[in-house]
Structure 1
Amino acid sequence: MAAASLAILKLDTRFPRLPGDIACKDSFARPVRLQTIAEASVDAVVSRNPEGLDLSAFEQAVQTATEPLITTSCGFMIYFQDRLNALNNRPFISSALTALPALRARYRDEQIAILTFDADTLGAPAYAASLQGFSGPVVGLDKSGHLYRTIKEDHPQLDAEQAAAELAQLTRQLLATHGQVKSLLLECTNLSPYRAVFRAGFEGEIIDLLTTLDSLSPGLVKPEFLI
């Protein structure tokens, strides 16, 4: 069996991980290793007070990983990017938000839209350093919607068609309000399976954790999840 090209530190969840999700092995063209971090729930990690998270299991997982790349399944781990990256000489990529500085070098802030699981939480003071003064639109999922509740409440079933319809509406509303947007940055790894939905209503650049990792290890991700 070929050695894994990527270690994925996955939250301790049961909601479905569709192809295109970072925590679905079918998203990749090469072998990857999934490691569930016990008790790392969505509520624990997606927090306005990330310092309250017991990071020890993540630290141990990063320290012992032997794959060429290491990542996580939740973009809010951006808060710990520098701390965890220092524990291994292999690159640790916590989140698609690590791509924000490069995007800002090519676009004005108002031309970049961050799509996130929870805009209120990402806007908390704790994440200000990670966003580095970003002033463009930050749009979260509808907290009354099916996709948000499935993730938040960790339901084992997901209606992908309903989720797709919600994201299509979100995209239309975003572009109607921010017509100058040229790049979508998907913080939430659970949005990536719906890349075709975003693409149907948006002709610009779409950046997520998969594109970020594939830029570091070309050929890692199946091409259909990079369009």
Structure 2
Amino acid sequence: MTYPPDAPRLARGGKSIYGAPLGILMLEARFPRIPGDMGNAGTWPFPVLFRVVRGASPERVVLGGAKGLLPDFIAAAQDLVDLGAEAITTNCGFLSLFQAEMAAAVKVPVATSSLMQVPWVQATLPPGRRVGVITVSRASLTPAHLDAAGVPRDVPVEGTEGGREFFRVLITAEKQDMDVALAAQDILEAGRRLVARHPEIGAIVLECTNMPPYAAALREEIGLPVFDIYTLVSWFHGGLRPRRF
């Protein structure tokens, strides 16, 4: 057997799993993970490691403020790092509450929330334009969530809790199936309300990690750039495995 002349002669160990440097902490839920959803492995053009945090239901994390769950998320993140993850992210933007504690505990880069993109996107906009946020639950997104992600407290926010499908499937778990067209309408209607109330908005950040399947339609609907957990994780992974030229 021959090897390329530039191949390393020493293979280094120390991990259980190789080739998947990004670990994703998942909430415990049973709703559909359609393509584009963070919890659908086919969404990602690179391998990832998943770990479900037992007891961390969407309702408990979003509506209940994730009370009492920090030790469980730290333990799950540490397990992913032990397996081979070189960085950690989560599949709920409301976990921004745990950003500082998790980064300190696991000793690898951590990005808990899509909301962390808000200040970055704001820096790209011309004077007089602002970032707007669409979240799964406007009433539950507190100043503490925003502070933890570095988001100004006066950021314009719109939620989907008044919709017909998205919130009641993902958060209150009223059923396990989902009408994707109705869910899409909930996102589009939230976007229309947001820009109608705040015409100065120049870009949108989607808090919820289940919203990327609808980002392209929202971009077409409102004519503004849309950022989500897919854009965040793609950037994050790009630093873990820079492209060779």
TM-score by length of 2: 0.81
- Aligned: 1:147 with 2:166: yes
Q: Secondary structure at the match of 1:183?
A: strand
Q: Secondary structure at the match of 2:201?
A: coil
Query: Would the alpha carbon gap of residues 109 and 207 (structure 1) be closer, same or farther in structure 2, given more than 3 Å must change?
Result: farther
Q: Secondary structure at the match of 1:217?
A: helix
- Aligned: 1:169 with 2:189: yes
d(CA) in 2 for partners of 1:200, 1:206: 10
Identity between Structure 1 and Structure 2 (%): 29
- Aligned: 1:96 with 2:92: no
Aligned partners of 2:27 and 2:52 also within 8 Å: yes
Q: Which has the higher contact order (CA 8 A, sep 6+)?
A: 1
Which protein shows a greater Rg? 2
Matches within 5 A, 1:118-157: 118-122=137-141, 124-130=142-148, 132-154=151-173, 155-157=175-177
d(CA) in 1 for partners of 2:229, 2:48: 14
d(CA) in 2 for partners of 1:138, 1:100: 12
Residues 161-193 of structure 1, C-alpha deviations (whole Å, 9 max, x = no match):
111122222222222222221110111011111
TM-score by length of 1: 0.86
**2:73 is matched with which residue?**
58
Uncovered stretches (5+) of structure 2, i.e. residues with no partner: 1-16, 241-245
Query: Would the alpha carbon gap of residues 15 and 172 (structure 1) be closer, same or farther in structure 2, given more than 3 Å must change?
Result: same
- Aligned: 1:214 with 2:240: no
- Aligned: 1:16 with 2:57: no
User: What one-letter code is carried by the residue in structure 1 that aligns with 2:234?
Assistant: D
Alignment partner of 1:117 out of 136, 141, 146:
136
**1:70 is matched with which residue?**
88
CA RMSD, aligned part only?
Answer: 2.3
Uncovered stretches (5+) of structure 1, i.e. residues with no partner: 221-227
User: What one-letter code is carried by the residue in structure 1 that aligns with 2:132?
Assistant: A
User: What one-letter code is carried by the residue in structure 2 that aligns with 1:62?
Assistant: A
Aligned partners of 2:132 and 2:156 also within 8 Å: yes
Q: Secondary structure at the match of 1:135?
A: coil
Q: How many residues align?
A: 218
Alignment partner of 2:51 out of 29, 35, 40:
35
Q: Secondary structure at the match of 2:39?
A: coil
Aligned partners of 2:116 and 2:151 also within 8 Å: no
